[in-house]
Structure 1
Amino acid sequence: MPEPKVRKFLSVVEEVMHEGGPVAETPLKRGAILAVIENPYAGKYHEDISAFMKDLEPLGLEMANRLIAALGGDKDDIQGYGKGAIVGQAGELEHGALWHAPGGYAMRAALGDAKAIVPSTKKVGGPGTRLDVPVAHVNASYVRSHFDAMEVGIPDAPRANEIVLSLVMTTGARIHARVGGLKADDVKGEDGLR
C-alpha cells in the first residue's frame, strides 16, 4: 500500500482549572491530534486489509510527537493516553480497527516506556461526527483517577471515503479526582495494570 494520504490535521489542547471545586494548583491539560486520511478500502469489501497497519505507523509517530509538543514538549509530563477512529460511511468499522496497533505503538514509542494498554474506540459516521476517546494512565490501567475521555471531531470530516484518526494525551488525573483506588504515585508499572 502507498503511504496514507492526509487531507488535514487538527490539534487542540484544553487546560482545566477546576470542575466546580477549588482551582487546581496545576491545571490539567488534555490534548488531541486528529488526521483526516483517505480510506483506501472505502466503497468495496476487501478481505485482506491488515498490511495498512504498518503503513500507518510513521503517521502515528508523527502525530504522537506533534501532540507531545502541543502539550509542552516534555514526554515525562504525559500521564494519560487514548486513541480512536471515525470511519466515513463508505467504509466499515473494521477500517477503524486498523488504527489500534499503529496508534498504540506510536504513543508508546514517543513516550519511551509506557506500559498500559492504550484504550480505544471507533465508529462509522459522516462529517461532524464526534467521538469520545477514552483515556487511562500510561503505566497502569487500574489508576482510577486517570479514567477520563476527550470528545473529538472535525466539522467537515470524515467524508464518505475518509477516516479520522485520533490520539489523545493528558498531563494528569481528572481535576478533583477523589474516588479512591490505586494512586498514580503507587504504580509499580510492571504489567501495565498496577
Structure 2
Amino acid sequence: MSPQIRKLVRLVEEIHSENGQQLAKPHRVAVAAAVIANPYGAGYVEDVVTLADELGEAIGELLGPECVRLLDDEIEAFGKAALVGVDGETEHGSALIHNLRFGNVFRRAAGGTELLPAAEKIGLQGASIDVPLKHKTDAKTRSHHQTVTFRIEDAPRADEIVVACIAANSGRPLARLATFGAEAPVSIA
C-alpha cells in the first residue's frame, strides 16, 4: 500500500552565526515532509496499527533517505513529526510515525541507534509544529537537544497529515552546557 501524496516539501536551513558569534562550521537542518491524505479518514478508528504497518515503510522510504540526502553532511541529531488535519485525531499521526517500519528506515539512513524524538498534534492549515531533535546515538548528549519549528502554508488540510523527518549536522549553535550528569548533586529535602 502506498500513501496518497498531495505534495512533498524539502527545506534546508543553514546558520552561519548566532548571537553575534561566527560558527566554526554552518549549522545545517534538513526537513523532508510529505502531505498525505489521512489514511484513517475522519473520526475514530479502533485499529490504527494495521494500516500504519502497511504504510510505515513506504513513508519512511519516501522521507528518511531524502532527509539524509538534503542535509548533505554527517547527521548528528534527528527527529520526526506528524501534524494531523482537524478531521483526524492525533493518534492517526502517532500511529504512522511511532512505527518501526517508518522509524527504522530513517534511523538506518541516518546511521542512528537511538529512538527518534517526535512531535505530533492536530493543527489547522498552516499550523507550525515544534520538533525535538536529539543525538542519533546518545540521547543524553545535551548539546544536541534542540527544537526545529516548521510549517507548510497550505497544509494540513482537514483530511490530511503532514509527516516529516528532520536532521541536523550538529548540536545547537554555541552549545555550552555541561555533559549529562556533570553538575553537582542536588539534594531533595
Q: What is the TM-score normalised by the length of structure 2?
A: 0.89
SS of corresponding position for 1:133: strand
Q: State how far apart, in whole Å, the 1-side matches of 2:132 and 2:161 are.
A: 18
Any unmatched runs of 5+ in structure 2? 181-189
| 1:110 alignment partner in structure 2 | 109
Deviation at 1:144, TM superposition (A): 0.3
Deviation, 1:42, is 2.3
Cα distance, 1:119 vs. partner? 0.4
What's the CA shift for 1:27?
Answer: 0.6
Distance 2:43 2:87 in 1: 8
Task: For 1:128-143, list aligned pairs within 5 A.
Answer: 128-143=126-141
Secondary structure of 2:67's aligned partner: helix
Residue 106 (structure 1) shift:
2.1
* C-alpha deviation, 1:103, in angstroms: 3.9
Structure 1 unpaired stretches of 5+: 183-194
After superposition, what is the alpha-carbon deviation per residue over 1:71-105, rounded to whole angstroms, capped at 9, x for unaligned? Answer: 11x5xx00000001100000011001111224422
Q: Secondary structure at the match of 1:172?
A: coil
Residues 3 and 56 in structure 1, CA contact (< 8 A), matched pair in contact too: no
Whole-Å Cα distance in 2 between the matches of residues 153 and 100 of structure 1? 21
Does 2:56 correspond to 1:56? Answer: yes
Equivalent position of 2:160 in the other structure: 162
CA apart distance, 1:62 = 2.3
What is the distance in 1 between the residues matched to 2:52 and 2:45? 14
Task: Measure the CA separation in 1 of the matches of 2:125 and 2:33.
Answer: 14
Residue equivalent to 1:144: 142
Report what 2:4 is aligned to: 5
- Identity value in percent: 34
Does the 8 Å contact 1:85/1:96 carry over to 2?
Answer: yes
1:86 equivalent to 2:80? Answer no
AA aligned opposite 2:147: A
Shift of 1:22: 2.1
Task: Judge conservation of contact 1:61–1:109 (CA < 8 Å) in 2.
Answer: no
Between Structure 1 and Structure 2, the one with more strand by share is 2
Aligned residues: 177
Quote the Cα distance in structure 1 between the aligned partners of 2:150 and 2:102: 15
Q: Residue in 2 aligned with 1:189? A: none
Choose 103-112 or 87-96, whichever is displaced more. Answer: 103-112
Task: Kindly report structure 1 stretches of 4+ aligned residues shifted beyond 4 Å.
Answer: none
2:22 is paired with a residue of what secondary structure? coil
- Provide the C-alpha distance between the structure 2 equivalents of 1:96 and 1:117, rounded to a whole number of angstroms: 17
